[in-house]
Structure 1
Amino acid sequence: MAGLTNLNQLVEEAKPLVDGLEAINVRISKIMELISKNKKNLNSVYIYIIYDISDSKIRTYVSTYLERNGLVRVQLSVFFGNIKRELYQKIQQTLKEINDMYTNKDSIFIIPIGEDILNKTTIIGENIDFDIIVHHKATLFI
């Protein structure tokens, strides 16, 4: 949220741009909470889940399933979370079972990511300033 030229910009950006996708400031807050809450927990893993699912009903089911299991929607088909390793295995198995149930050419990427790599991630574009999310800095608003 740094770099805003005026406070009205934050209010304008608080509106969701696409149905089913929360406003950017809400997504940033959820991701920051995930990162700060579970730092250095050896029993958890950061993951990205990225999918390309053509069937709307299955796509909706998968997105709802991921949100119910504590992952945060970063983009329409991209989820991020810090979850227990057991849940990671369960999600992986469930998504495989869903994919095996029907004939498709869909793809689901489940990417576990270490904190050291997470801290080196760069995002290009205007969506989320990942450096602010990962390197939680104290900010004073007056």
Structure 2
Amino acid sequence: MKGNHLIETRLIGQAGLSGTGTIGRVTGNLDELPTLPERIRQILNIISSAERKPGYMICFIMYDITSNKVRTLIAKFLLKKGCTRVQKSIFMADMPSDEVQDIAQKLTEIQKMYDNNDSILIVPLSEDYTRAMKIIGQDVDIDLILHSKNTLFF
């Protein structure tokens, strides 16, 4: 039991939630997302890099977590690790594979700390699939932005 508390304390500290006060207390509102154009800009920065760095991978990290406290902890943790929030429960990462493995290991530890039926998915994406991504919403034409639309002139 004491070992779990040490792990929890370490993970909370890594997520930036250490210190006094309630664990679930957050500075700012994590439920508020940046605007859609800002999120698209962040996604495009990830997928449009001219050359992929060796050993890096792009992935989605998605979760379905019922506890507000745990959901907040994981959101702060992923943001601190450099992930980009795409939707409320979906993050995109472009980082070395070993960092993704480290995130997966820490999320597994958190998952084991409490009785739950929650799920966390880490989905690696190939560069081709990332470039073929479709974003639906407002007046956004991602194909035009990515220059993947073909125009024929006669």
TM-score, normalised relative to structure 1:
0.73
The one of 104, 115, 122 equivalent to 1:110 is 122
Work out whether residues 83 and 92 of structure 2, in 8 Å CA contact, stay in contact via their aligned partners in 1.
yes
- Distance verdict in 2 for CA 1:126–1:49, change over 3 Å: same
> 1:36 Cα deviation (Å)?
3.1
> Is 2:112 aligned against 1:100?
yes
In structure 2, C-alpha distance between the alignment counterparts of 1:104 and 1:38, rounded to whole Å: 42
Partner of 1:46: 58
Aligned length: 118
Residues 67, 131 of structure 1: alpha-carbon distance in 2 compared, 3 angstrom cutoff: farther
Identity of aligned residues (%): 36
8 Å CA contact 1:51–1:108 kept in 2: the answer is: yes
**2:79 paired with 1:67:** yes
Deviations 1:76-101 (A, max 9, x none): 00111211111111001011111011
Name stretches of at least 5 consecutive residues in structure 1 with no aligned partner.
1-17, 138-142
Provide the C-alpha distance between the structure 2 equivalents of 1:44 and 1:121, rounded to a whole number of angstroms.
Answer: 19
Match for residue 126 of structure 1 among 120, 131, 137: 137
Instruction: Calculate the aligned-residue CA RMSD, in Å.
Output: 2.2
Q: Which protein has the larger Cα radius of gyration, Structure 1 or Structure 2?
A: 2
